[in-house]
Structure 1
């Protein structure tokens, strides 16, 4: 049995018990009783010390009048009505002492216990709602676990001897070619052209370049230094102020726009345009290659684009997913995971996770959402 189910069922039992205790008296009658109890205890707290002894006579008369009004407004069918009347009688004296106030509080103790049933019900309802939330969170955790176990089971069934080089060779050839072409572009093109290309790549969600900072783009467009290649700009950024004066018109602008962004500029490389290994699913590969082509064509020659087309064509092969599964298994499965699959441990864990999830769903269906409180 799932702990989440146990907690939900326990919360339901406690909520039902609390609800029955309220219904024994009646929720409306209990609320009326609670309102009177709260008002009397407030009056006792407010006037204790002021309406005692031979002190403030006005406070004394206000206090006795307020108590009489609270009790006088109660119907006789209010729970603990006799207790309220007894408290009123007790306090209607010519002179009150501290002990009279304390005695009144003691007399109201049974009322406190009675109206506490409403608080108990509210607490039980909150605990029940929390138990449902916890059960939903547990389902989310189990969904993740089921997905991971299904992945292990699937990869464990993969053919580790499959000829994955049929996929890897064209992918590696493209990745190497695009890295070489981008490296040449990064070293030779103006920083302006390079950053413009990266900014345009932002229109393609699958090309994960970090967008150039606005101040950097403005600088390379508005200053002559923007026509220099990126490595030159980075070299300038390391110059002292006096040395930089000989190379750029506005050293301060370069330091502000470029020197403060060395890390971003140095990290610019071709990785956002590589396919990588293991490759993506067949359904994703054509989309990925399509977006890559839109960017790659802006700096690489036709030979690189041709290699990218070869990679895209891989997704049409019937063997693609089988080979990809083998590649994933080789790359991602540890020896321990392979042993767990082989021993049946993954299969057992998967069955247990599915069973627990189904039990929680059934419990949530059986013990539904709460309506308005009684």
Structure 2
């Protein structure tokens, strides 16, 4: 039995026992005792310093009046009413000392014990709520663990001897080529054109290109420096203001627009046009290829675009899903995972987790 289940059962037993103890004494009666006990203890705490010894006489009188009114106003059949009367006797003196207040508190102890039944019930219910939260957290952990092991089983069923290079090689060739082509493109076109490309690419949801910052776009479109390449702009941004004055008409504007956006410009490379490995399902990869074709055609020659089309064609191959599943398995399944599958430990873990899940769900 897991700790969460044991804690839940123990908490429920505690609540049942606490509720039974309360009901044996009648809940409404206990609540009346609790209210009277609270009032009496508050009076003792409030006036102990001022109503004792040679303190404030008015405080002494007020305390005795309020304490007497509290006790005399209790129902005759209130459980432990005699404890309140004994407490009243303890403070019904011409002069009060700290020992009289201590005696009054001691006299109220039987009532305190009854109040403790309600306190125990509240604490038990709070413990049960926390035990239920813990059990739910444990249940989520179990669900995650089951999903992880079911994934291992699924990967273990893949054909690990499948010729995954039929997918890997074309994708790797395209990824390498598009990065090289974009690097050349970046050094050949103006910053203005490169940012126009980025703005267009940002509208394609499956291409991870961020919309260029508005202030940077405004700068390259309105200043002569925008006809320079991005590498050249970044180089100029590193110049001192006095040196930069020899190259641009507004050094401050360039510094403000380019230097502050260096991170964005540095990350604007061909990696966003690459394809993931291992690839997704056929339809997903096909869509990614189709989104990239018009973008790649702007930054690379037809040979690179042809590579992308070759990858797209693979998604119609009857063997695609078998090869993809094998690629995913080879990528995700390490030596330890294979050993656990071969030894049967994954199957045993799954059985234990499913049994615990069923028991925990029933307990909840």
Q: CA separation of 1:199/1:144 partners in 2, compared to 1, >3 Å: closer, same or farther? A: farther
How far the C-alpha of 1:301 sits from its partner, in A, is: 4.9
Matched position secondary structure for 2:196? helix
What TM-score comes out, normalization by structure 1 length?
0.89
Once the two structures are superposed, the pairs formed by residues 227-238 of structure 1 within 5 Å of their partners are 227-238=227-238
Which residue in the other structure is 1:142 paired with?
Answer: 142
Q: Separation in 1 of the partners of 2:30 and 2:193?
A: 77
What is the match of residue 334 of structure 2?
A: 334
Q: Deviations over 1:273-328 (max 9, x none)?
A: 21132112334223333433454455445554444343334333332221112112
* Structure 1 match to 2:62: 62
Report what 1:194 is aligned to: 194
- Measured in 2, the distance between the counterparts of 1:290 and 1:130 equals 52
Relative distance call for 1:19 and 1:315 in structure 2 (3 A) is farther
Tell me: CA distance 1:79–1:281, structure 2 relative to 1, closer, same or farther (3 Å).
farther
Unaligned stretches of 5+ in structure 1? Answer: 365-374
Is the contact between residue 160 and residue 330 of structure 2 (CA under 8 Å) also seen in structure 1?
yes
Residue in 1 that maps onto 2:353: 353
Deviation at 1:43, TM superposition (A): 0.9
Distance 1:8 1:297, change over 3 A: farther
Counterpart for residue 369 of structure 1: none
Q: Note the C-alpha offset of 1:270.
A: 1.6
Q: Calculate the TM-score normalised by the size of structure 2.
A: 0.91
Q: Which 5+ residue runs of structure 2 have no aligned equivalent?
A: none
After superposition, the C-alpha distances for 1:60-93 in whole angstroms (9 at most, x for unaligned) are 1110111122223322233221211221233222
Secondary structure of the 1:51 match is coil
The number of residue pairs the alignment matches comes to 364
Structure 1 residues 116 and 190, CA gap change in structure 2 (3 angstroms):
farther
Q: Distance in 2 between matches of 1:26 and 1:296?
A: 80
Q: RMSD of aligned C-alpha atoms?
A: 2.2
1:42-191 equivalent positions in 2, closer than 5 A: 42-191=42-191
Number of the residue aligned with 2:320: 320
Cα deviations by residue, 1:165-187 (Å, 9 ceiling, x for unpaired): 22223322332332233223222
